[in-house]
Amino acid sequence: MSSLLERLRKNKDDRGMMANLRCILVENKKHRAWPVLNRLGVPITEDVPAIVAGLFATHPEGDSESVKNFGDTCKLIELARDKESAEFNGNSDNSKKKNLTPTERRFQHLLAADKSEIPERVMRMVLMAKSQGVSVNYERLLYDLKYWGERTKTEWASSFWTPGTEPVDGEAA
């Protein structure tokens, strides 16, 4: 377990600290997070731990290691949103889907990101996870973002599009 995540979990009820950590996610407010990051032992020059700390501060109640990786989190978001829209529309039969769902499109956009684009795209998904009550494995997210590349993208994609999930029409051929 990461010492950063241990310290974040210990301080998750400190609303002031969490508010300052969230500032790392906003370009013109980053300076507000630097003193807190320093107290947590995170050098302000290391982007990935700082970003994960900010994401944790955004959705601390969603911290869970029961989720395998961020691909699982995104799939759970899609399932929650799909269920929500089916209930809203009064239609629980989703077998006639022909296009990618908005969550699938957003997930594809996330996977297409290079290292400089990934923080903002992950942040959007964490905000969606918070709105849907979906957990995030911050421990694994920290590792995956540190080593962002094809291996991570493939692992996330295989978690999101698991066997047993029906392919969208035209993709199976």
pLDDT tens digits, one per residue of 123-150: 999 999 999 999 999 999 999 999 999 9
At 117, give phi and psi (nearest 5°).
-90, -20
Residue 105 and residue 39 share a domain: no
Number of domains in the chain: 2
Residue 77 and residue 46 share a domain: no
pLDDT tens digits, one per residue of 59-105: 999 999 889 999 999 999 999 987 766 554 555 555 555 688 899 99
Residue 79 and residue 144 share a domain: yes
Residue 125 and residue 101 share a domain: yes
Residue 76 and residue 52 share a domain: no
Residue 74 and residue 54 share a domain: no
131 in any annotated domain: yes
Distance CA(4)–CA(138), nearest Å, equals 10
Q: How far is CA 151 from CA 96, 109, 143, 144, 166, in A?
A: 32, 17, 12, 9, 24
User: What tokens does 3 get?
Assistant: 């010492």
The alpha-helical segments, DSSP class H, found in the chain are 3-10, 15-22, 30-39, 47-58, 70-89, 102-111, 118-132, 138-146, 150-160
Residue 114 and residue 37 share a domain: no
65 in any annotated domain: no
Determine contact, residues 122/110, Cβ cutoff 8 Å: yes
pLDDT tens digits, one per residue of 3-52: 999 999 999 999 999 999 999 999 999 999 999 999 999 998 999 999 99
51 in any annotated domain: yes
CB atoms near residue 42 (< 10 Å): 23
Determine contact, residues 80/134, Cβ cutoff 8 Å: yes
Residue type, 111: L
Could you list the residue range(s) of the whole structural domain that residue 27 is in? Answer: 3-58
Contacts of 147 (CB under 8 A, 6+ apart): none
Report which DSSP code applies to 63. Answer: B
24 in any annotated domain: yes
- pLDDT for residue 173: 40
Residue 130 and residue 49 share a domain: no
169 in any annotated domain: no
pLDDT band with cut points at 50, 70 and 90 for residue 2 = confident
88 in any annotated domain: yes
64 in any annotated domain: no
- pLDDT for residue 170: 45
The alpha-helical segments, DSSP class H, found in 112-149 are 118-132, 138-146
Distance CA(63)–CA(56), nearest Å, equals 7
Residue 116 and residue 80 share a domain: yes
